[in-house]
Structure 1
Amino acid sequence: MLTSLRNVAYALYTRRLRAQLDPANLPRHLAMVMDGNRRWARQMGFDDPRVGHRYGAEHLDEVLRWCAEAGIRHVTVFVASVDNVRKREAGEVGNLMRMIEQVVAERLARPASPWRVHLAGRLDVLPDTTRHALKLAEAATRDSDAEFHLNIAIGYDGREEIVNAFRSLLEEESRAGYGIDDIAQRLTADRISAHLYTGGQPDPDLVIRTSGERRLSGFLVWQAAYSELHFCDVYWPGFRKVDFLRALRSYAARNRRFGA
C-alpha cells in the first residue's frame, strides 16, 4: 500500500514538473557526464561494482527517451575519456566496452531508433570490437530520417579535440593554397568550431553531471564555454526522471549571459 502511494505521488510530481516547463525555454543541446556507475553498484550492495556499467548503459536508453519527449534534438554523452580507456584496470575497461557494444551500439543501430549517431573521440584507443560496433551504429543511422542527434564521446579528450580541429583546419587551408599569413587572417572561432567533433551542431546549452562531482573533466572544453552547468548528487543509474526535469527547470529559470 505504501509503495503504491509513493508511486502515485511520484507520478503526480513528475507531471507537475513537466507542466511547469516551457518548450521555448528548453535546451536545444543537452550534454551529460554519466558518472557514478560503480559507486551506485556498491551503494546497492552488488559484490562486483562493475555491474554498474550495465545498469548505466541500460539507463541511457531511458534518459534518451526523456530527451525525445522533451523535444531536445541534440544530446552528447560522455562515455569514457582517453585516460579511462588507457589507465583503468583491463577487466573493468573490457566490461565497459562490452556494455557499449551489447547495449548502446546495438540499440541505437535498430531501424526504430529516432537517434542519428555521431562519434566523438579517438576510436583508435578502443578495442576492435567496440570500434566496429560503434561505427556500424553510426553508418546505420547516417542516412536515416532521424530528427534527433546523439554524440557519443568515447576515447575523448577535450583539449585533444581542439588540437585536432586546428590541425584539420590548417591542413584544409594549406590544400587550398593559403600561406601562414593568410591562414592567420582567416582564422575565426566559427571556422575552428566547424572542425570539432560536433561541427555543424549547436553548442550545448546545458551540461548535467551526475554523482556529485563539480567539474567537467575536460568534457567539451570549447563547446561548453557558455553552457549552463547542473551538478546532480545522484549516481547515473539512479538518475530519475524527476532529477532530469528539475535540471531542465533550473536551466529554464536562469538568465543566460553568455559570458557577459
Structure 2
Amino acid sequence: MNQDQTKELLLGIEPSKTDFSIVFTGKKSSMVNGLYKPMTREILIHNKNFENDGQLVYTAIHEYAHHLHCEKGAFVPGARAHTNEFWSIFHDLLEKAEKQGSYTNNFATDPDFVDMTKKIRALLPENGRLMLDFGKLVVEAEALCRKHFVRFEDYLDRAIGVPRTSAGAAMKAFTLQVPADLGWDAMKLVSGIKKPETRAAAIDAFMAGKSPESVKAMVKAEKPSDDPKFRLDKERERLEKTIHTLQERLAMVESEISKLDED
C-alpha cells in the first residue's frame, strides 16, 4: 500500500473538509508509528514499523482522526491531543472501516482474541454485582453513621479505608440499580450521569459495544461546537485565564523572593 492508496482509503472512510498529505518516512521508529502535524496538515507514517498493511492502516486511521479532530478546532493545537472527543472520532472511524472492509478487527475475528475476550467479559458481571453489594452496604453504613452522629467520611477514611469517590460511585450505582452486566468501570460512568434519559442511552451504548471514550463523548453535557471560530474564541479565553493565573502566581513568588532577599 502506497501513500496515495492510503489517502484514498481514509477519504473513503470519512470525507475531510480540508486537504492533507500523507508521507511515508521510509524509517523505523521505536517511539511512535505515526505523527500528525496540524500546522502543515501532514500525516507522517513510519512505514518500516509494520509487518502488514493492517498495522499501517490502523496507524493511518489514528493519525487521520487527529486531522479530523484538529479540523474542528481550526488546526490550533489544544492542551491535549488525545481527548475523549478524539477517541470517539477514532473509534467511529475504525467501526466504519470495519464495516467497509477497509480494516479487519482482529479482536473479533482471531480465535485466540475471541476466546480471551469471552473469558474476560464473563468476569465483568461478577465484578459489577460485587460493587452493587458493596454499594448497598455502604448505604447502610451511611445510615448507621447518621444514627450515631458520626462523620460518614471519617468512617470511610479510617474504618474501611476506601476512597470517598469509590464509595460514592458504588452508592449511586446501587441506588440507581445500574445493570451489573456492564462491569464496574462502565457502571461507575453511568451512575455519574444525572439525566435518566441520558443514563439510559449510555447503558444502551455500552450494551452495543461502544467504547468508554465514545460513551463519554456522547453524554457530555456541553457538546463541542463544530464552529471553528467558536472553538478558537473558547481556546483564547482558556489561554487568557491560564496566563492571568500564572502571572498572579509569578508575582506572588517574586514577592516572597524579595522578602527573603531583604532578610
TM-score by length of 1: 0.27
Whose helix fraction is larger, Structure 1's or Structure 2's?
Answer: 2
Q: Which has the larger radius of gyration?
A: 2
Whose strand fraction is larger, Structure 1's or Structure 2's?
Answer: 1
TM-score by length of 2: 0.27
